[in-house]
Amino acid sequence: MTVPEIFKNTRLPVVAAPMFLVSDDRMTIASCTSGIVGTFPALNQLTTEGFEQWVINIKEALAAFQQEHPDKPCGPYGVNLIVHRSNPRVQADLEICVKHQVPLIITSLGAVKDVVEAVHSYGGVVFHDITNRRHAEKAMEAGVDGVILVSGGAGGHAGTLNPFALLSEIKSFFDGTILLAGSLSTGRDVAAARAMGADLAYMGTRFIAAKENNAPEAYKEMICEACAQDIVYTPSVSGVPANFMRQSLIQNGFDIEKLMDPASVDFGKKLTVDGEAQAWKNIWSAGHGVSAIDDVPTISELVDRLEEEYREAIRELAEEVTS
C-alpha cells in the first residue's frame, strides 16, 4: 500500500471527495473527526478571504478535537484547487494553502510543477484528478504524489473508462498513491477498490446524502430515490460532459430525449449569464452509485457503517482463502 505519512491516523482508506457547492468547512471537519480524509474546493467560498476563514475554522476544530480525544483517529484535510487559466484565484488560494500548510492539495485540470513544488516545500501532499493515461503521465512528470482515477459512472465531470481497465493501465507505470473514484457508495465498495489495487477510495455522491454539507434537502432526497439509470452523462449543462440526475434535468426544462441524441447536444446553450455556478446550483450532479444510497445519515454514522461493511467484506474474503 502506497500511502503518504499524513494518512497514518485514519480509520478507513476513504477520502470524502471535494464537491462544487456541496462541500464546506462543516463537512470537512465532520469527515476528519470521523477518521477519514475531508476535503473541499477552495472555490466553494466566493473570495480568497472566505476560503482562508474555512481553513482556519478547520485547523482550529481539528486541533481541539485531537486535544480532547488524543486516542481517536482524525484524518487530514485537503483543499481542491482548479488549476486552469480561467480560475483567476489559483495563485492567491495556493498562497493561503502554503501559509497554513494545508496537508493535502487536490489539483484538477492542470498538473503544474510549480504548484507541486510549492506544496512539497512545506511537506504537503499533492493528488491529481485524471481520467486517462495521458493525464496521468503529465501528472507524473509534474511530480504529484498520487493520482485520482475518475472512472465512468462518477459524479461530476466523470471519465468514461471502466475502473478495472483504468486502474490496471495506470498501475502499470505509476508507483505513487492510487485513488479510485466512481460509484463507490458502501464499505464493500471500498474493500473492492482495495482488492483491485487502489490505495484509497474516493467517494463523492455518497457524501452528498449526508447531514453536514451545503446541499439542499431536495437534492439529498433525489439521490435517495434515484437509480443508476437516472444518471445522464451530458455536456449540455456546462459545455463539459458531466453526470446529472434525470429528474433534476427535467425540472430545469431539459428535453431528455434530445440530450441522449448526440446530434442535438447544445453545448452550454442552457447557460445564463450566471454561468457554471448557477447551472450546478439548479441542476444536480450525482454518479451511478446513487443506486446504493437510500438515507441521509450524519457523517459519523456513515463512517461507522462504512467501516462495518468494509471489515465484513474483508472478513468474508479472508475466510474463503483460509478455509
How far does Cα 24 stand from its chain's mean position? 13
User: Minimum Å distance from CB 318 to ligand FMN?
Assistant: 26
How far does Cα 224 stand from its chain's mean position? 19
CB-wise, 217 or 319, nearer to ligand FMN? 217
CB-wise, 17 or 61, nearer to ligand FMN? 17
**Chain residues in the site for ligand FMN (CB under 6 A):** 17-20, 22, 41, 80, 108, 129, 150, 154-156, 181-184, 202-205, 285-287, 289
User: Minimum Å distance from CB 72 to ligand FMN?
Assistant: 26
Distances (CA, A) of 89 to 38, 83, 274, 277, 286: 22, 9, 18, 15, 26
User: Minimum Å distance from CB 147 to ligand FMN?
Assistant: 12
List residues bridging with 248 in a β-sheet: none
Residues 6+ apart with CB under 8 A from 320: none
3-state class of 19 per DSSP?
coil
User: Minimum Å distance from CB 241 to ligand FMN?
Assistant: 13
User: Minimum Å distance from CB 142 to ligand FMN?
Assistant: 16
List residues bridging with 233 in a β-sheet: 243
User: Minimum Å distance from CB 151 to ligand FMN?
Assistant: 8
User: Minimum Å distance from CB 69 to ligand FMN?
Assistant: 28
CB-wise, 47 or 264, nearer to ligand FMN? 47
CB-wise, 227 or 318, nearer to ligand FMN? 227
CB-wise, 33 or 151, nearer to ligand FMN? 151
CB-wise, 62 or 245, nearer to ligand FMN? 245
CB-wise, 236 or 323, nearer to ligand FMN? 236
Q: State which H helix or E strand residue 253 sits in.
A: none
CA distance 118 to 294: 41
Name the grid cell of 41: 474546493
CA distance 228 to 240: 20
Residues 6+ apart with CB under 8 A from 61: 25, 29, 33
Q: How many CB atoms lie within 10 A of CB 245?
A: 24
Do 290 and 205 touch, CB atoms closer than 8 A? yes
Residue nearest to ligand FMN (CB): 204
